[in-house]
Amino acid sequence: MRFKMIDYIYENPDVVRKTLHENERDVRALQRILKEKEIKKVVINGLGSSFTAAAIAEPLLHIHSQYNTLIIDSEEFIYYEDSWIDEKTAVISVSRSGERGAAIEAMHKSKTKGAFTIAITGVENSLLAQSAEIILRTHEGSEIAFPKTKSVSTCSAMIMRLGLAFAKVEDQKAEKRIDILESIDTQISETINIADKQILKILPKIHEFTQIFTVGTCSNHGVALEAAIKLQEASLTVTRGENTAALWVGPVSAITDKTLVVILIMKEDLNLSIDLLKMVKDFGGTSIAICPKTIDVSDYSDYVINVSDFTDPYLAGLVYLPVIQLLTYYLTIEKGLNPDKPRATERLLTSLLPVGREEPG
């Protein structure tokens, strides 16, 4: 049986391209507005996959944005509002549905303190959109599967574009990255086509693990966090997302022969990743390396899944993300579960949605 989730994963390249293209004029207008308002700080908040979408973009923001930037879970907004939120702050609330109570509440609180408010959402008439001064609409279209995939990619791409828009005029590296981002859909498409076939080949050997660790560095750290959400949400497998180096500090001792460790590898973290692959083997665990074909870790990893040969660590998360989505999809099906509607869906929506609101399709 084919589920909607796989179709949405394959739509990633097109919806990322469309989202960036359709919002370009508003992004450039936003640059001028923030300058006119003499904005000094940017606070980005979201829940669940909206938060991890921001986490994927976070390293790029810290490298390029001229504004002091804070990325937080919407539920923790209360801890930062007094010290961070004022009339010189731009608050960006991220929610694909635009119906997450905590994100909406964060925006309302920000407005009372005089902050400039921006919504990144896929639903133009949502409560979040109605509350914002500027709306940047993602163009993923319908996504009825509850484990969101393509909307995570569009939100992350949108935040990356904002990070580059927030750069200083003289930041030439930001200009180059804008060009790379605008054509990244090609790399995403190539990766999906490569990884899909490779995952299917190894699937019978990896579906029975009871514990999964997902790790990465730079933008892939956010992907690792997102992987933990998706794998637990859909396949019901206990999963922990970490920075690659952080797995060494304590969590590595929990690895057993029932553990699968998924390592997102780039050339910048290759030596660190190889050391971790060796450690996983020493502890009796099984490993999957996700990396470009130009990186050969076959001597260290039990299995390898390839991505396209993409070399920018600050944008790479968008290329690696669909691999995690595909892995989640196939592991969930292999366990006899429905990836479009995990068992906790209704209970989760009841707790997340404002009273009287419904989850958009």
Q: Is residue 361 part of a domain?
A: no
- Average pLDDT in the 7-33 region? 97
Q: Could you report the per-residue pLDDT of 284-338, keeping only the tens digit for each?
A: 999 999 999 999 999 999 999 999 999 899 999 999 999 999 999 999 999 999 9
Who's near 356: CB < 8 A, 6+ residues apart?
none
Query: Which pTM was predicted?
Result: 0.94
Same domain, 15 and 114: yes
d(CA 314, CA 306): 18
Same domain, 121 and 237: no
Same domain, 315 and 292: yes
Whether the per-residue pLDDT at 262 is higher than 70: the answer is yes
Q: Scanning the structure block, which residue is given the tokens 């359709």? A: 22
Helix boundaries (H) for 211-316: 219-235, 270-282
Q: Scanning the structure block, which residue is given the tokens 């400039």? A: 116
Q: Could you report the per-residue pLDDT of 42-97, keeping only the tens digit for each?
A: 999 999 999 999 999 999 999 999 999 999 999 999 999 999 999 999 999 999 98
Same domain, 130 and 272: no
Same domain, 266 and 172: no
Q: In the structure, what pLDDT confidence band is assigned to residue 346 with cuts at 50, 70 and 90?
A: very low
Q: Is residue 360 part of a domain?
A: no
Q: Could you report the per-residue pLDDT of 122-178, keeping only the tens digit for each?
A: 988 899 999 999 999 999 998 887 789 999 999 999 999 999 999 999 999 999 999
Name the residue among 94, 205, 225 with its Cα closest to residue 154.
94
- Average pLDDT in the 11-29 region? 97
Same domain, 233 and 261: yes
What is the SS3 assignment for 299?
coil
Name the residue among 255, 317, 235, 270 with its Cα closest to residue 59.
317
Q: Is residue 33 part of a domain?
A: yes
Same domain, 177 and 199: no
Q: Scanning the structure block, which residue is given the tokens 């949400």? A: 233
Beta strands in 192-273 (DSSP E): 211-216, 238-243, 259-264
Cα distances (Å, whole numbers) of residue 54 to 93, 189, 216, 273, 342:
10, 22, 15, 24, 24
* Amino acid (one-letter) located at 192: I
Number of domains making up the chain: 2
d(CA 167, CA 162): 9
Same domain, 79 and 16: yes
d(CA 126, CA 22): 19
Q: Is residue 356 part of a domain?
A: no
Same domain, 250 and 269: yes
The DSSP bridge partners found for residue 259 are 211
Same domain, 29 and 155: yes
Radius of gyration of the chain (CA): 20
Query: Could you say which of 126, 150, 184 is where a domain stops?
Result: 184
Residue-wise burial string across 338-355, b where 16 or more C-beta atoms lie within 10 A, e elsewhere: bbbbbeebeeeeeebbee
Show the domain range for 42. Answer: 4-184
